[in-house]
Amino acid sequence: MKKAYLFPGQGAQFVGMGNDLYNYNQDTRTLFEQANEILGFRITDMMFSGTEEDLKQTDVTQPSIFLHSVILAKALGDQFQPDMVAGHSLGEFSALVAVGVLDFEAGLKLVAARANAMQRACEIQPSTMAAVLGLDDFTVEDVCQRISEVVVPANYNCPGQLVVSGTIAGIDKAVELLTEAGAKRVLKLNVGGAFHSPLMESARVELQAAIDASTFHAPLCPVYQNIDAKPHTDPQEIKDNLIEQLTGAVKWSQIVQAMIADGASSFTEVGPGNVLQGLVKKVDRKMETTAAKL
């Protein structure tokens, strides 16, 4: 009977997020105020009383979700007893801090560096993503390979739901070909760029320097990483996989399947929203899923 803890990525944000956590006790308040100092602006104002538009800015979204997840995990105290953890995209950083691979300040600085690097990469080349519903992975991969523009599978979210990433022209072509191939829906996403694709190479190089300069420790329990869906405990391996994550696909379906195969009997989502609980249920309807609550 193993407990798996999951940490959400971009898209889980909502107006007012974290306000209850800020007011939970002095320790949580101190962490939020420390974050304001580290980031150099009052991210708490954006989280608690900003608009949806404010929260959509990558340099706000990513640290906001990270802070909500990490501070919640810390506030859980002895209730937080994971046998295994994983985070979706940005959530991998939250997971690493929650299990002691990175300290709070180092994790937040990396998340801020990642958000800024991704923002710059988006400005270098306009690009986007699209969600593909109702097609098997192989068909989607095959269609992507037939397009001359850059288009790659970016997020294997659950069976029948795969997100592709690429140039604007490439995604337009993919929408057309994937619809012809029998997808139920192909939905262009309102995102700033082609995350988890080769178009993020400039961001990967920038982030690598920041990751290499950070100290990584052995985790409290195995971390199932996005790039290969395997459990890792070696700090150097974790580091290398985290660097590859920006240009590689998020293998979320495979992570959930691997955790179940390794004995996970319950999944707890730590952070805003309930997207990951829904994805677990799509992999295995019988799995017990909950949201972490104080």
Partners of 248 in the beta sheet? none
Q: What kind of fold does domain 127-188 have according to CATH?
A: Alpha-Beta Plaits (3.30.70)
Run of H or E residues at 289: strand 288-291
Domain 2-123+198-291 grouped into CATH 2.30.31.70: no
**CB-based burial label for 46 (10 Å; 0-12, 13-18, 19+):** buried
Q: Active-site residue 266, yes or no?
A: no
Q: Which of 64, 69, 127, 196 is catalytic?
A: 196
Q: Which of 69, 89, 94, 253 is catalytic?
A: 89
Per-residue pLDDT at 16: 96
Per-residue pLDDT at 247: 98
Domain map (residue ranges) of the chain? 2-123+198-291, 127-188
Given a contact cutoff of 8 angstroms between Cβ atoms, the answer to whether 232 and 217 are in contact is no
Q: What averages of pLDDT result for each successive group of 10 residues across the chain (294 residues)?
A: 96 95 98 98 96 90 97 97 98 98 98 95 93 98 98 98 98 98 96 94 96 97 98 98 97 98 98 97 97 96
Per-residue pLDDT at 57: 86
Question: pTM, whole model, 2 decimals?
Answer: 0.97
Q: Active-site residue 253, yes or no?
A: no
